[in-house]
Amino acid sequence: MIYNIYKPKDFSSFSVVKQIKRITHEKVGHSGTLDPFADGVLVLGVGKSTKKLSDIIQYDKTYEGVIKLGKKTDTKDLTGTVIGKEKVPNINGIDFEKISQSFLGIQMQETPMYSARKVNGVRLYKLARKNISVKRNPKQIEIKYLKCTVIDSDTLQIKVECSSGTYIRVLAEDIAKKIGTVGHLIKLTRTTVGSFSLNDSLTVEKFEEEWKS
């Protein structure tokens, strides 16, 4: 079976998989990692259904995030170390519709060093923690929808619909650059994976109840 599980903040995707394995005593796989600081939809396959995950991985995804402007971190999110600061321009006069439009379409995006992608069999974040940086070939992604909304003088909310493999942390940093400053993600929620929606996702506790009944 395929299950739409809610991954809470500050848990790794792997730890959620581990909990579902403990409950089901079956093979469990997921259809795309969510960063530990993020929450939202994690689609899991249990038992023979793990074979279907290779298709689900390719589904488009939607996200809601919050960008803090003026500070750049090594991880591109709130879990990292601040490595740069820049003044934030007056963002109330910025045409965010025009900026959003400029990001739409097919483009190449470089995978961040702090990510679960493997290069030569080693996960990039393991190298990043040792201050080792390696060449990453950019991957083709597509931004299908983007909306930026001002929350306050140095904070933006973004809503994104994108192809599989898109790093919202990289997009957030690029948006900050476009408005003449630096920035990093401080909040991220995956709201859909294909037709799997956050509104229908089960907490691990709810899943356990249903599985045992």
Residues with catalytic annotation?
A: 35
The two structure tokens encoding residue 91: 């963002």
Are 45 and 31 a contacting pair, CB within 8 Å? yes
Residue-by-residue DSSP string for 176-205: HHHTTS-EEEEEEEEEEETTEEGGGPBPHH
Cβ count within 10 A of residue 143: 19
Q: DSSP 3-state assignment of 167?
A: coil
DSSP letter at 57 equals T
Distance CA 78, CA 65 (A): 12
The two structure tokens encoding residue 142: 């597509």
DSSP letter at 152 equals E
